[in-house]
Amino acid sequence: MSLRAARLEDMLMRTFAPELLRVVDDSARHAGHAGAQPGGETHYSVLLVAAAFRGMTRVERSRAVHAVLAAEFSGGMHALALTLRTPEEHEKAE
């Protein structure tokens, strides 16, 4: 796991106490694209399943995650693909 992925995971765990969290560094798949840098750690996919999302819209969830990770964006992270679900939504999606 990359250093940035570990930081993302730590921040998301502390903030949302998820039942499920997957952080995947997709940087290699975006080589040559906007924001891609040698060495990667620029593009990530996150699956986050947390009770904290109950009562929140998709936009509110996304804003909450982006607020927690704002320093990573200013520090070189370029893109974040988010799947944000409540435990009930995740159960239905499986």
Q: What architecture (CATH level 2) is domain 3-93?
A: 2-Layer Sandwich (3.30)
pLDDT at position 33, please? 59
pLDDT by residue, tens only, the chain of 94 residues:
678 889 999 999 999 999 999 999 887 664 555 554 555 678 889 999 999 999 999 999 999 999 999 998 888 787 899 999 999 999 999 7
What does the domain layout of the chain look like in residue ranges? 3-93
- Show Cβ contacts of residue 70 under 8 Å, excluding neighbours closer than 6 positions: none
- φ/ψ of residue 92, rounded to 5: -70, -30
Q: Helix 58-68 and helix 3-16: axis angle, to 10°? A: 120
Looking at residue 29, its pLDDT comes to 61
Q: Is the entire prediction scored with pTM above 0.85?
A: no
